[in-house]
Amino acid sequence: MSQVIRIEDVWKYYDGRAVVKGISLSVNKNERFVIIGPSGSGKSTMLRMMNMLVRPDKGRVFFKDVELTSPGVNPIEYRKKIGIVFQHYNLFLHMTVLKNVMFGLVKVKGMSQELAKKRAMSALESVRIGKNLWDKYPSQLSGGEQQRVAIARALAMEPEVMLFDEPTSALDPELTGEVLEVMKELARGGMTMVVVTHELGFAASVGSRIAFIDSGELVEEGTPKEVLFSPKKDRTRAFLEKMWELYKIEPEW
């Protein structure tokens, strides 16, 4: 399989404290790579290094064969190919749903208003945001609807990879299901995805590979069956026991 994203021995420090400690991993085309771990373990920081929203203090980041950490490379050009959806929707509150999705197409890709509108409408339909919502403002939408608009905005740019940074953590269970179903449809369509999440059900059913990160370190990596149901490391097992307890599922080990 061809690699799309690769990080090599990346480190990140805040106030002298390492929050990501020498992690190396790669994401292949059409893969659904899921990152799990406790809060504050460095998952989101590592994810944002994949499209250089956060620049590592040490180590290298590659998109295909291009080193994004090289001094001669402008990472902004490559962010067009690496979409990201955040925990908080980051929609423009003064713009309608349709205008939110059109914005990047016009400002970043230089599309005409007419073409951008067609692309935006198609993206919104793909995440089940109907025409009745296109002229509404974010404050008039539910949290699940806002997050699906944020996904549509990223999809409209036609990225090669989608990064999701805990996209359901701010939502109640019913709205979480709406967003996860859209993500599952993207996965079924072959979208290359990297997802930071606490949703173990999603990780088990959709993930092709799982990484468990704790205290800024990559503890364990493998298939969902290997990591979620037969973890080799005691730290992974301890974390999962608490998580499965929330789901009322008895682990096999």
Closest-CA residue to 168 (of 48, 34, 54): 34
pLDDT category at 6 given cuts 50, 70, 90 is very high
Closest-CA residue to 9 (of 253, 218, 224, 246): 218
- How much is the pLDDT for 173? 81
Query: Are the CB atoms for 149 and 100 separated by under 8 Å?
Result: yes
252 pLDDT above the threshold of 60: no
- How much is the pLDDT for 191? 94
27 pLDDT above the threshold of 90: yes
- How much is the pLDDT for 22? 97
Q: Indicate the average pLDDT of the chain.
A: 92
pLDDT category at 248 given cuts 50, 70, 90 is low
Distance of CA 148 to the CA centre of its chain: 13
247 pLDDT above the threshold of 80: no
Spatial CB neighbours of 79, under 8 Å, sequence gap ≥ 6? 51, 52, 53
State which amino acid sits at residue 75.
P
Q: Global pTM?
A: 0.91
pLDDT digits (tens, 9 = 90+) for 101-157: 999 999 989 999 999 999 999 999 999 999 999 999 999 999 999 999 999 999 999
39 pLDDT above the threshold of 80: yes
Closest-CA residue to 164 (of 126, 145, 192, 189): 192
Residues forming a β-bridge with 163: 84, 194
pLDDT category at 88 given cuts 50, 70, 90 is confident
For the chain, percent of residues with pLDDT exceeding 70: 96
Find where tokens 């001669």 sit.
72
- How much is the pLDDT for 87? 85
- How much is the pLDDT for 76? 86
- How much is the pLDDT for 77? 86
**How far, in Å, CA of 130 to CA of 21, rounded?**
44
- How much is the pLDDT for 169? 84
246 pLDDT above the threshold of 80: no
- How much is the pLDDT for 250? 60
pLDDT digits (tens, 9 = 90+) for 152-178: 999 999 999 999 999 888 788 878 888
> What angle, rounded to 10 degrees, do the helices at 113-126 and 97-107 form?
130
